[in-house]
């Protein structure tokens, strides 16, 4: 039994030959924190996780777990448990044997082992299936076995590599809630890799967003959502994502084709993208909003209505209540609170503040 430990990643790099997969990755994770590494596929998030696990070597940099430098330490001495995307259940062992494998390796006395297996299985509601083989279980049950195997040893760190991506949508929602509950009960430091921003938003204490092996932004889900650091984060978070309108800033005013919005305190710049969230705007009568556009499509999602417009080359999406209706090709206005708008330099993608 060990208590949760903090993790400190300092300028970690990974090279595969000439390919630079992870670039100066630094992160401080508190003991007991739930951190989500979020990014599109190929962004280096899984590589980073595997480096923390010790399954990939660290080309350059330092990794500390607790106050111990584990950069060169073998995986089995790092006191971590990992849940793989494929679950990695041993197909020839029963559920009980699978859950008990870490204990068996640690040479736990049989009586104690049995009690711990039972406790872990009860926690994931699998105690009635201990004699089954993984091949006889459903996807959700296999997922639970993998979780039970990870918690049975009470590691100081949990690593999870897209553990929910093989489940169907409904089950994923349930498992998400259970996972969050379990993590807060056990209080074990957790690093969770996903490409699904909903999972990231709902589970994380803090989210680290990555792209091309570089950390883009680190913050609470609320921070990265409402205060994105750059164009990539702004476009990645949110579903539907943030709307962008092209233009320039001059004398504290952002102006593009058919749109002019105050941008107080910002220096003059050309090639600027203004971003605003679909839920921060409303469809109004033509001429009464900040900009005018033609309705392109109109989608009912049940709890709300998404209206997509064409504005210049960019689509602009507006979230409206579910009783809202509008015909296609209608010319309407779009209004939004200018205080919620963010401005980005097109060339570098950086936020203008």
Partner 1 sequence: MSVSFSKPGLFEPRRIGEMSPATKILLYSVLIGWSLFVIFPIYWLVITSFKTPATVNEGPFFIPFVDFQPSLHAWADLFIYDAADTFRAYFNSIVIAFSATALSVFVGSMAAYSLSRIEFAPNLITILYFVVLLVGAGVAIGVYGSDLWLTLAICVALFFLLARAVGRLYTVRLGNGDILFWIVSQRILAPIVVVVPIYMMFQSVRMLDTHIAIIITYAVVNLPIVVWLMFDFFNSIPRDLEESAQLDGATMIMTFREIVLPLSRTGLAATTLLVMIFSWNEYLFALFISTSKAQTLPILVAAMNAGERGILWWTMSVAIIIMIIPVVALAVVLQKYISKGLLVGAVKG
Binding site for partner 1 (CB under 8 A): 53-55, 74-76, 80-82, 84, 86, 88, 90-92, 101-102, 105-106, 135, 139, 149, 153
Residues shown for the chain:
353
Q: Shortest approach of partner 1 to residue 47 CB, angstroms? A: 14
Query: Strand locations in 54-106, DSSP E?
Result: 60-65, 68-69, 80-83
Beta carbon nearer to partner 1, 139 or 252: 139
Nearer to partner 1, 186 or 345 (CB): 186
In the complex, the smallest distance separating the C-beta of residue 48 from partner 1, rounded to whole angstroms, is 16
Indicate the residue among 149 and 290 with the shorter CB distance to partner 1: 149
Select 82 or 318, whichever has its Cβ closest to partner 1.
82
If the CB atoms of residues 50 and 211 are measured against partner 1, the closer one turns out to be 50
Residue (92 or 181) nearer to partner 1, CB: 92
Q: Which residues, 6+ apart, have CB-to-CB distance to 286 below 8 Å?
A: 292, 331, 332, 333
* Terminal-to-terminal C-alpha distance of the chain: 47
> What number of CA atoms fall less than 13 Å from residue 216's CA on the CB side?
31
Judge residue 246's burial from the number of C-beta atoms within 10 Å of its C-beta, 0-12 exposed, 13-18 middle, 19 or more buried: middle
Q: Where are the alpha helices (DSSP H) in 207-333?
A: 221-226, 231-236
For the sheet with 259-262, list strands across it: 259-262, 253-256, 243-250, 269-276, 342-345, 351-352
* The two structure tokens encoding residue 253: 């005013």
For residue 182, the minimal CB distance to partner 1 (Å) is 19
φ, ψ for residue 104 (rounded to 5)?
A: -60, -45
CB of 326 to partner 1, least distance (A): 43
Nearest distance, CB of residue 92 and partner 1, angstroms: 5
Residue 231: CB minimum distance to partner 1, A = 35
């Amino acid at each position: 039994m060990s208590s949760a430990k903090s993790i400190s990643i300092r300028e970690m790099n990974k090279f595969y030959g000439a390919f630079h997969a992870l670039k100066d990755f630094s992160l401080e994770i508190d003991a007991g924190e739930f951190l989500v590494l979020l990014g599109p596929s190929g962004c280096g998030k899984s590589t980073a996780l595997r480096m923390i696990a010790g399954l990939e070597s660290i080309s350059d940099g330092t990794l500390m777990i607790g106050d111990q430098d584990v950069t060169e330490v073998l995986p089995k001495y790092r006191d971590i448990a990992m849940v793989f995307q494929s679950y990695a259940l041993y197909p020839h062992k029963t559920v009980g044997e699978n859950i008990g494998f870490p204990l068996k390796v640690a040479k736990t006395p049989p009586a104690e082992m049995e009690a711990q297996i039972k406790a872990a299985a009860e926690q994931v509601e699998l105690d009635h299936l201990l004699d089954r083989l993984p091949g006889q279980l459903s996807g959700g049950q296999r997922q639970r076995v993998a979780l039970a195997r990870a918690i049975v040893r009470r590691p100081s760190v949990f690593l999870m590599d897209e553990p929910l991506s093989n489940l169907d949508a409904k089950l994923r929602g349930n498992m998400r809630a259970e996972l969050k509950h379990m993590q807060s009960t056990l209080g074990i430091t957790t690093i969770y890799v996903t490409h699904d921003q909903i999972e990231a938003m709902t589970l994380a204490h803090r989210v680290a967003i990555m792209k091309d092996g570089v950390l883009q932004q680190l913050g609470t889900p609320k921070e990265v959502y409402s205060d994105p650091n750059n164009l990539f984060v702004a476009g990645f978070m949110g579903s539907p994502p943030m709307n962008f309108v092209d233009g320039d800033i001059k004398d504290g005013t952002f102006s593009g084709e058919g749109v002019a919005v105050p941008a107080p305190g910002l220096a003059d710049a050309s090639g600027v993208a203004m971003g605003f969230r679909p839920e921060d705007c409303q469809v109004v009568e033509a001429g009464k909003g900040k900009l005018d556009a033609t309705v392109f499509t109109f989608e009912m999602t049940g709890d709300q209505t998404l209206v997509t417009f064409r504005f210049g080359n960019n689509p602009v999406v507006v979230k409206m209540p579910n009783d809202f209706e509008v015909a296609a090709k209608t010319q309407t206005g779009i209004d939004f609170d200018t205080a919620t708008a963010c401005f980005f330099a097109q060339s570098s993608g950086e936020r203008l503040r």
